[in-house]
Structure 1
Amino acid sequence: CRAIVEALKPMKVSKSNVSYTIQRFKETNSFADRPKSGRPRSVRTKKLVEVTRIKIHRNNKRSIRKMALEVGVNCEVMRKIVRKDLGVKPYYLQKRQFLSDATVGKRLERTKVLRNWLKIRTRISIIWTDEKVFTLQAAFNCQNDRILAKDIRQVPVKDKTIFKRQKPASIMD
């Protein structure tokens, strides 16, 4: 035991830690933890954690509540599995404007024209108006639509973004 303690001194491992580990190995023939006392888990089992991991891997946009309903457990249990056991967080989907190459070119051209026009007309006041137009683009609510991931930077852009068009097809023209 002393030789081991001396060898581990540069790593700053205490003598009590070394003797405790040796004693545990003699008792259990393994370095694994001893069996814990207390009530075993009945709901948040390893099997349920694995099933949840597979479900998230298949569809990471699935809500925690829906997964809890499918499995038949409480929402809080499913939330603990997702956050504590799997280390996954729900992230908001990000809204972005859909820009094709043609749109980028048109925007640049129109911006230059508008800036030149405003340079000439310095005393003009511009009034912007907005009318209600019913679009065919699907409604998006970031409170309802989320994505489950360990880190949002690992998710591909097409999966974590909702692209909106400037002029989507509309009912009122």
Structure 2
Amino acid sequence: MVVYTLEQRWEILREAPSAPYVRYLVKKVKETGILIDKPKREKPKTVRKPENIAAVAESVRETPSTSIYRRSQQLNVSETSLRRILHKDLGMTPYKVQLVQELKPTDHPIRFRFAKWACDRLTEDADFAKKIIFSDEAHFDLGGYVNKQNCRIWGTENPHAYIEKPTHS
């Protein structure tokens, strides 16, 4: 809400004030005794103090993957204030962990052999790529479930973190 002084209000109006505005001014003088608006006090920052910001920075440095919920409990700071400190004061962003297929040392020669075979087929038959059928496969994980929606790593730049999981456990 924009607050104007009396002179600014008159300059904006440039004509006789409306009846509701006059009633507002009379009511204001009766209630407060003055016509000028009192300066508004800004609320002091109660949570985003330097010591709290330093504590959050240290906590993120030690364990960047701790959830907002858990970190807010550990530091006794609300989740909203913690997010504000992380974003506004520390300039951090939450990055999502990527799930990738776990590769064993024996997988590399097999992948190389397949790639060489596919290149040989493409040189023999130009339409070979059109004859391959790819499909999406569903795998049911027996080795534990990683919910990457809830797994975030806080940092000023992307750490490119990933978790290797076996495809067929």
TM-score by length of 2: 0.59
Question: Any gaps of 5 or more consecutive residues in structure 1?
Answer: 1-36
Question: Does 2:86 match 1:82?
Answer: yes
Paired position in structure 2 for 1:150: 156
What does 1:51-90 align with in structure 2 at a 5 Å threshold? 51-90=55-94
Deviations 1:14-44 (A, max 9, x none): xxxxxxxxxxxxxxxxxxxxxxx84322122
Measure the CA separation in 1 of the matches of 2:132 and 2:71.
52
Shift of 1:63: 1.1
Shift of 1:149: 0.6
Question: Any gaps of 5 or more consecutive residues in structure 2?
Answer: 1-40
Contact residue 137 and residue 168 of structure 1 kept, 8 A? no
Measure the CA separation in 1 of the matches of 2:55 and 2:91.
15
User: Residues 113 and 39 of structure 1: is their aligned pair in 2 closer, same or farther, counting only changes over 3 Å?
Assistant: closer
User: Residues 126 and 68 of structure 1: is their aligned pair in 2 closer, same or farther, counting only changes over 3 Å?
Assistant: same
User: Residues 86 and 128 of structure 1: is their aligned pair in 2 closer, same or farther, counting only changes over 3 Å?
Assistant: closer
User: Residues 82 and 129 of structure 1: is their aligned pair in 2 closer, same or farther, counting only changes over 3 Å?
Assistant: closer
Name the amino acid aligned to 1:164: K
User: Residues 161 and 129 of structure 1: is their aligned pair in 2 closer, same or farther, counting only changes over 3 Å?
Assistant: closer
- Rg larger in 1 or in 2? 2
Which one of the candidate residues 98, 105, 109 is aligned to 2:102?
Answer: 98
Name the amino acid aligned to 1:141: N
Larger RCO, structure (CA 8 Å, separation 6 or more)? 2
Shift of 1:91: 0.5
TM-score by length of 1: 0.57
